[in-house]
Amino acid sequence: MFKTCLGIVLLISCDGLLAQNVSNSFNWGVEHCGYALGLVMNKLNLLDHHIIEKEVQMESKLNDLSSKIDSLMQQKCNTTTLPVFNKTKDDVYSSCRKTPATGVYTIQPEKPFKEPITVLCDQEYESGGWIVIQHRFDGSTNFYRNWKEYKNGFGNLDGEFWLGLDRIYQLTVSQPYELVVLLEDFDDNKTFARYDQFEIADENQMYMLSKIEGFSGPAGDSLGNVKGMKFSTLDSDNDTWKDSCAVTYTGAWWYSACHASNLNGQYLRGETTEYATGMVWKTFRGYYHSLKMAKMMIRPKWLRA
């Protein structure tokens, strides 16, 4: 067809004498050449439309990719990281009371600590000076762990964690400490329980809850009843029940036979059919509501305003 169109052009340029002879051919060629050109133009239009469509799709993908990159960069900027300490005197505080704001710091408590320890200090609750010993709020950390892990501590100080029984013992034996337990359920109800005296024994006594006195607070007392109880984990059964409270209720705590609180239990997100296996505080929401948040904090009694 394209060769025919070329022939027509050549014929037009020939001597006029040939024009009469090719008149019929010319008319036929023009008709079919116009049809062919129409097909070409249609194809070009379709191709142009296809290119534009691809460009739009590519631009959309580039915009999506750019948005994702911006989001990732923003997340990176908003990520809290632990401060880096150069082992110098200026980096170490004597207590959380001395730190400038809530955050992770290195402190050097009094006896029996030989080396500084890194802790999360809370300066926001009731005049500050608190050391956070346990914090749970999203279920991201597994708290069903063995004795060694509860002794040494686990998790991240900028997330969910358990400070460690050995550190808690060394802190509370050094001077009189008080304890506050902050709680929140999945209906956004917040409450607290407070104890004027809190102390645990050493590992030889299985970190027994030796002092838990002077309760106050709207959450009710779900811890005072286990005074004198030893700490139990899934692999160290030190309770007074015939079976293992830690295994039965999927936690680790100062169990008797068995508990009125289980703040290291499963993170079950609100109402549950499981009896007492969640993160519960009986006098607040009972045994069938696993709490949203629990934060246990201690501070020297002399810091209380």
* E strand residue ranges, the chain: 92-93, 103-107, 117-122, 130-136, 154-155, 161-162, 177-184, 190-200, 209-216, 270-271, 289-290, 293-300
Q: How many Cα atoms sit within 13 Å of 149 on the Cβ side?
A: 16
Query: Residue 270 class from Cβ within 10 Å (0-12 exposed, 13-18 middle, 19+ buried)?
Result: middle
Q: Higher-confidence residue: 304 or 185? A: 185
Reported as a single tens digit per residue, the pLDDT across 132-183 is: 999 999 999 999 999 999 999 999 999 999 999 999 999 999 899 999 999 9
- Helix, strand or coil, per DSSP, at residue 133: strand
pLDDT at 196 over 80: yes
Reported as a single tens digit per residue, the pLDDT across 126-146 is: 999 999 999 999 999 999 999
CB atoms within 10 A of CB 109: 20
**How far, in Å, CA of 42 to CA of 34, rounded?**
12
Model confidence band, residue 5 (pLDDT cutoffs 50, 70, 90): very low
Reported as a single tens digit per residue, the pLDDT across 230-253 is: 999 999 999 999 999 999 999 999
Reported as a single tens digit per residue, the pLDDT across 271-291 is: 999 999 999 999 999 999 999
pLDDT at 11 over 80: no
Burial code (b: 16+ CB inside 10 Å, e: under 16) for 162-190 equals bbbbbbbbbbbeeeebbbbbbbbbeeeee
Reported as a single tens digit per residue, the pLDDT across 31-83 is: 555 666 677 677 777 776 777 777 767 776 666 555 555 544 443 333 333 33
Residue type for 281, please? W
Domains and CATH numbers, the chain: 1-11+28-43 (no CATH), 94-303 (3.90.215.10)
> What confidence score (pLDDT) does residue 31 get?
59
Q: Which of 14-23, 83-92, 224-233, 267-276 has the least mean pLDDT?
A: 14-23
